[in-house]
Structure 1
Amino acid sequence: MARTPQRPSEARSRLLNTALRIFYAEGIHSVGIDRIVEEAQVTRATLYRHFLSKEELVVAYLTEADNAMRAHAAQAAEGKHSPADTLLALAQAIAQGIRSPEFRGCAFLNAAAEYPEPDHPVHQAVLAHRQWFADTVTELFAQIEEERAEPAARHFVMLRDGAMAAGCLSDADLVCETFLRGVEGLLKAYV
């Protein structure tokens, strides 16, 4: 008999939502377990029942951020008739995120800066997300022109990384305008 997947407990959801909000806004290392427990209104025992360590909570936070990015990418692809339209819609979704008032840079680049050791599980979660993103963009460019897809995708990812870094340091509208023009120029070179 097949098991029905269980819904995450309310306490786990509160812990994860609290971590999502605070880790992104303030950084991972600067936020202690006591703060997460207090703001999620759970006990330490409840936290450790759901996450064996802060590291495991951080990986769950990045997994949630990854799932959100995948959903944004899927939404960007909905109703688009060409890979170029999908890439433009993806770039526009990224720009929209950068323009949001709560934008604090890329959650994954921020986490990589805090966990630079390549073998660390948090760093590995960052690399997995980045690989998915690069593969997604490469597949779209391959539908335009197979032979130049990989360099084009690397260029797109670098434009995105630059926009994500500059978006929280400079005028977000100017950063987004520059990013979108760069993506449009890149697409003109390939379409």
Structure 2
Amino acid sequence: MPTEPNSPRDRLLETASALFYAEGIKGIGVDRVLAEAGVTRATMYRHFAGKEGLVAAYLEREDAIIRHYFAAAESAGGSAAEMLIAVIDGIAEDARRYRRRGCPFINAAAEYPAGEIRDVIDRHRTWFRLTLGTLCKAAGIADAEYAAAALVLLRDAALVGVYLDGDAVTKTFCRTARQVVGLA
């Protein structure tokens, strides 16, 4: 769901997001982000409290994209079971099309095991697991918490798996995820 960056803040965040995801966070210096975004250091500090603030904004942007996918699926209507299938298919599609280097949250967690960045990651993962749990409960799954935790685990594995082994992983993910929620 990338948008056409217009403002200096948008250009900065779009550039940082692309670089952080493609090459890792700690390996990308602020000077490179500024040069590629075409903004000044003063502009960055006007919008972000240093590199960590920019990293947090990158992860919050990723979180917003995923929340948008859920909101769009919810507004399309359908039963909870249909929405679960849509979520599973959406995760597979996301892994195939956009997440060729794994999960941005897992990647960031490897570089930031504690602190503000880890707090952003933890908030996202908690929301994701609780949202899946609510959906599983609405679909009548007996142990909705277990099913949600299993779906999170499977998503993590699928995103890492696509990075390591390619697209074939998504077929296994879909089949296994559907079995977990009883919709095989």
Give the 5 Å matches for 1:146-157: 147-157=142-152
* Unaligned ranges ≥5, structure 2: none
RMSD between aligned residues? 1.9
- Which residue number corresponds to residue 185 of structure 1? 179
Mapped to 1, the partners of 2:88 and 2:75 lie a distance apart of 14
Give the 5 Å matches for 1:79-94: 79-94=76-91
Per-residue deviation, 1:45: 1.4
Per-residue deviation, 1:94: 1.1
Give the 5 Å matches for 1:39-118: 39-100=36-97, 103-117=100-114
Spell out, residue by residue over 1:84-139, the C-alpha distance to the aligned partner (whole angstroms, 9 max, x if none): 1111101111111111166211111111111012xx00000000000110011000
With normalisation by structure 1, the TM-score equals 0.88
Q: Which amino acid aligns with 1:105?
A: G
Give the 5 Å matches for 1:25-44: 25-44=22-41
- Which residue number corresponds to residue 175 of structure 1? 169
- Which residue number corresponds to residue 134 of structure 1? 129
Mapped to 1, the partners of 2:58 and 2:88 lie a distance apart of 23
Identity of aligned residues (%): 42
Mapped to 1, the partners of 2:7 and 2:133 lie a distance apart of 38
1:122 aligned to which of 95, 117, 120: 117
- Describe the SS at the equivalent of 1:169: helix
Mapped to 1, the partners of 2:32 and 2:11 lie a distance apart of 13
With normalisation by structure 2, the TM-score equals 0.91
Per-residue deviation, 1:70: 0.5
Q: Which amino acid aligns with 2:162?
A: G
Whether the 8 Å CA contact 1:76–1:93 is kept in 2: the answer is no
Q: Which amino acid aligns with 2:125?
A: R
- Which residue number corresponds to residue 5 of structure 1? none
Whether the 8 Å CA contact 1:62–1:107 is kept in 2: the answer is yes
Whether the 8 Å CA contact 1:77–1:89 is kept in 2: the answer is no
Whether the 8 Å CA contact 2:88–2:178 is kept in 1: the answer is no
Change in 2 beyond 3 A, CA 1:102/1:79: closer
Task: Report the structure number with the largest CA radius of gyration.
Answer: 1
Number of aligned residue pairs: 180
Spell out, residue by residue over 1:146-188, the C-alpha distance to the aligned partner (whole angstroms, 9 max, x if none): 651111111111111110111100021x100000001111122
Mapped to 2, the partners of 1:151 and 1:140 lie a distance apart of 12
Mapped to 2, the partners of 1:102 and 1:128 lie a distance apart of 20
Whether the 8 Å CA contact 2:103–2:159 is kept in 1: the answer is yes
